[in-house]
Amino acid sequence: MRAIAEILSTVTYRPDPRGSDLPTCPVCADTMVAAEASAYLTDNVISYLWTCDTCGYGFVTKHSAKRFACN
C-alpha cells in the first residue's frame, strides 16, 4: 500500500507589491482598484483621485515618482 504525503511550504505568500498597496476606503474599508482620475503636479508628484464604489466617499493621494538615469 502506497502513502502519498503533501509537503506544505513554510514560506508565507507575499502578494505583488502593487496589489498590496491598493488604498482602502476610510469609511467602509472597501478596497479600491483604480483611481478615478490622476494629475501630474510639479517635482515628479502625481496626484490620484479615489472614489469608493460602495459608499461614494472620495479622497486624494499623492505619490512621488522616482527619476531613472539612463546610461
| Cα–Cα distance for residue pair 32/9, rounded to 1 Å | 30
Read off the pTM. Answer: 0.61
Confidence at residue 15, expressed as pLDDT on a 0 to 100 scale: 53
In one letter, which amino acid is 19?
A: G
Is 14 part of a structural domain of the chain? no
Is 5 part of a structural domain of the chain? no
Q: Is the pLDDT of residue 10 over 70?
A: no
Is 7 part of a structural domain of the chain? no
Is 33 part of a structural domain of the chain? yes
3-state DSSP of the chain: CCCCCCCCCCCCCCCCHHHHCCCECCCCCCECCCCCEEEECCCCEEEEEEECCCCCCEEEEEEECCCCCCC
Q: Taking residues 35-58, what's their average pLDDT? A: 90
Is 56 part of a structural domain of the chain? yes
Is 47 part of a structural domain of the chain? yes
* Full residue range of the structural domain in which residue 29 is found: 22-64
Residue showing cell 472597501: 30
Is 69 part of a structural domain of the chain? no
Is 37 part of a structural domain of the chain? yes
What is the number of structural domains in the chain? 1
